[in-house]
Structure 1
Amino acid sequence: MPISRIAIGSPAEIGQADALKAGLAEFISVLIFVFAGEGSGMAFNKLTNDGSTTPAGLVAAALAHGFALFVAVSVGANISGGHVNPAVTFGAFVGGHITLARSFVYWVSQLLGSVVACLLLKFATGGLTTSAFSLSSGVTVWNAVVFEIVMTFGLVYTVYATAVDPKKGNIGIVAPLAIGFIVGANILAGGAFDGASMNPAVSFGPAVVSWSWDSHWVYWLGPFLGAGIAAVVYEVFFINPSTHEQLPTTDY
């Protein structure tokens, strides 16, 4: 069972050179992802007089986030595994592929990367701020939690199938593309309802810069639950425990 392989690690692990390098890689990857993804929404608003909530704005957001995530995962894959998402890191932790100590390094780096990206956007746009994630009219917090659970389940399940599974073979080559595609598709499905975060870091940066925390917990609870469920399902049903090996962090 995946739960039996969960490892806490030691505090000393946080200061190890490879952990710090992996943290720096996650910081840069998230910065790239959030700057491009959130920046595309700001650019669309500027060009259309706040039209980012239109169907065209939704498609633009899906494309920008899908493209940017493909790149962000690719550039971090050989160093940190290219998680680019605290929920993905949590899913890897639940499956026994990363220790809690190293996960902490990733989480801090991912959150800082998002905040810095949003601050850079604010400076570069002359003081415009990225909008915090929020629920659409008629959408309750529990509606949004379900959305985030299901969407993040799909994301982390894709990560496991294309990047984590030791039987993945050549399919691992397309892992960053598949991960970008599922995020883009999920934004098309859920963006009009709760913004389709699937990533606590993506929600955290705009919330800090705009200092808007309404229903922010939704964007942590849903993704972490979805990631944990996906990790357990894939590990239990599709990865043979007898042949399982602890994977290096560069392979999720």
Structure 2
Amino acid sequence: MTLKEELKSRRFWRAVLAETLGSLIFVMAALGSSLPSPGQGCSVPLVQPALAVGFTVVGLGHCFGEISGAQMNPAVTLAFLATRKLDILRTACYILGQCLGATLGAGILYLTLPLKSAAECYVNKVNSEGNAGQALGMEVLVTFQLVFTIFSVEDHRRREVGEPGNLAIGLSVSAGVLTAGRFSGGSMNPARSLGPAIITGIWEHHWVYWIGPILGAVLAGLSHEFFFAASASRQKLIACLTCKDIEIMETASASRSSLSTVTQSAMRAKHTNKNDHN
């Protein structure tokens, strides 16, 4: 499909809208569950936001999984781009939609706050007893485990292996919040950190919540696809680096047949389709 056809496609804009709405709902759940009771400061038990975001991810996966993949996270989207599962146009539109949805979600919740000062609890912050480097490392690690889980679930689904995919991803998000919450807030999602920062104007150590999740996500996607996936192979890695057709390499690896046979079959099918079109 050409760029012009993609932009005119209803399916494409449905997917972008799904990412926007999904991010809005996700951020509202994450921020709403992080708000403290009166007189409590910003100290909220981690289990509260961890369960909220985990349950929300499971629900949104069922709502938007078949439409856009329910990524709702620029780091996840960039990991799919790095492994050539998304093109640049869809990646850019998804990220714009995710950031817009996150900002709208934070803004809507801000308007409902009786005390606007409580909005400071929205923002992911580096622990005062730690430093930005430690927070960055935690964001890399917890995002790595989240995105590795997402790619594993997608690999199982592609091979039609029955398993509770959305539940596994939701539990992975909850585990990340519980693990990194005391160090960095357990964001794992640049859009989730960007929305509150725009609304409150608090940008301290904001770079941590972009570099950490993106680095962890891309490393997870590449390591899974080219080393741990059922279709992983040296030929597939070379195909990615040289911008060749990865699907042909995946088919060859999955069927354990020779690459030349698969390539010839694919070329014959394309030639037949071209003749039929003519």
* Coarse TM-score class (shorter-chain normalised): 0.7 to 0.9
| Greater RCO (Cα-Cα under 8 Å, separation 6 or more) | 1
Q: Using the TM superposition, give the Cα deviation of residue 14 of structure 1 relative to its aligned residue in structure 2, in angstroms.
A: 4.5
Residues 230/14 of structure 1: CA separation in 2 closer, same or farther (3 Å cut) = farther
Q: 1:33 aligns with which of 9, 17, 26?
A: 26
> Does structure 1 conserve the Cα–Cα contact (< 8 Å) formed by 2:126 and 2:184?
yes
Matched, 1:156 2:141: no
Q: Secondary structure at the match of 2:205?
A: coil
Aligned position for 2:126: 135
Q: 2:182 aligns with which of 167, 192, 203?
A: 192
Q: In the aligned structure 2, how far is the partner of 1:88 from the partner of 1:14? A: 22
Say which one has the larger Rg: 2
Matched, 1:227 2:217: yes
Aligned position for 2:111: 123
Aligned position for 1:146: 137
Q: Using the TM superposition, give the Cα deviation of residue 167 of structure 1 relative to its aligned residue in structure 2, in angstroms.
A: 2.7
Q: Using the TM superposition, give the Cα deviation of residue 60 of structure 1 relative to its aligned residue in structure 2, in angstroms.
A: 0.7
Q: In the aligned structure 1, how far is the partner of 2:10 from the partner of 2:162? A: 30
Matched, 1:107 2:100: no
Q: 2:197 aligns with which of 207, 210, 213?
A: 207
Across the aligned residues of Structure 1 and Structure 2, the Cα RMSD in angstroms comes to 2.0
> Does structure 2 conserve the Cα–Cα contact (< 8 Å) formed by 1:53 and 1:192?
no
Q: Using the TM superposition, give the Cα deviation of residue 73 of structure 1 relative to its aligned residue in structure 2, in angstroms.
A: 2.2
Give, as a single letter, the amino acid of the residue that structure 2 aligns with 1:152.
T
Aligned position for 1:23: 16
Q: Using the TM superposition, give the Cα deviation of residue 74 of structure 1 relative to its aligned residue in structure 2, in angstroms.
A: 2.1
Residues 51/178 of structure 1: CA separation in 2 closer, same or farther (3 Å cut) = farther
Q: In the aligned structure 2, how far is the partner of 1:93 from the partner of 1:239? A: 20
Q: Secondary structure at the match of 1:46?
A: coil
Residues 168/145 of structure 1: CA separation in 2 closer, same or farther (3 Å cut) = farther
Q: Quick check: 119-128 or 231-240, which moved more?
A: 119-128
Q: 1:170 aligns with which of 162, 165, 168?
A: 162
Q: 1:62 aligns with which of 50, 64, 67?
A: 50
> Does structure 2 conserve the Cα–Cα contact (< 8 Å) formed by 1:34 and 1:114?
yes
Q: 1:74 aligns with which of 62, 77, 95?
A: 62
> Does structure 2 conserve the Cα–Cα contact (< 8 Å) formed by 1:29 and 1:73?
no
Q: In the aligned structure 2, how far is the partner of 1:137 from the partner of 1:208? A: 22
Between the two proteins, what is the percent identity of the paired residues? 33
Q: Secondary structure at the match of 2:37?
A: helix
Q: In the aligned structure 2, how far is the partner of 1:11 from the partner of 1:212? A: 39
> Does structure 2 conserve the Cα–Cα contact (< 8 Å) formed by 1:85 and 1:110?
yes
Residues 12/221 of structure 1: CA separation in 2 closer, same or farther (3 Å cut) = farther
Residues 52/212 of structure 1: CA separation in 2 closer, same or farther (3 Å cut) = closer
Q: 2:72 aligns with which of 81, 84, 103?
A: 84
Give, as a single letter, the amino acid of the residue that structure 2 aligns with 1:90.
L
Q: Deviations over 1:13-50 (max 9, x none)?
A: 455322211110011111111111111112xx125x23
Structure 2, gaps ≥5 residues long = 237-248, 253-278
> Does structure 1 conserve the Cα–Cα contact (< 8 Å) formed by 2:34 and 2:122?
no
Q: In the aligned structure 2, how far is the partner of 1:11 from the partner of 1:125? A: 43
Residues 244/137 of structure 1: CA separation in 2 closer, same or farther (3 Å cut) = farther
Aligned position for 1:3: none
**Displacement over 3 Å in runs of 4+:** 9-16
> Does structure 2 conserve the Cα–Cα contact (< 8 Å) formed by 1:66 and 1:180?
yes
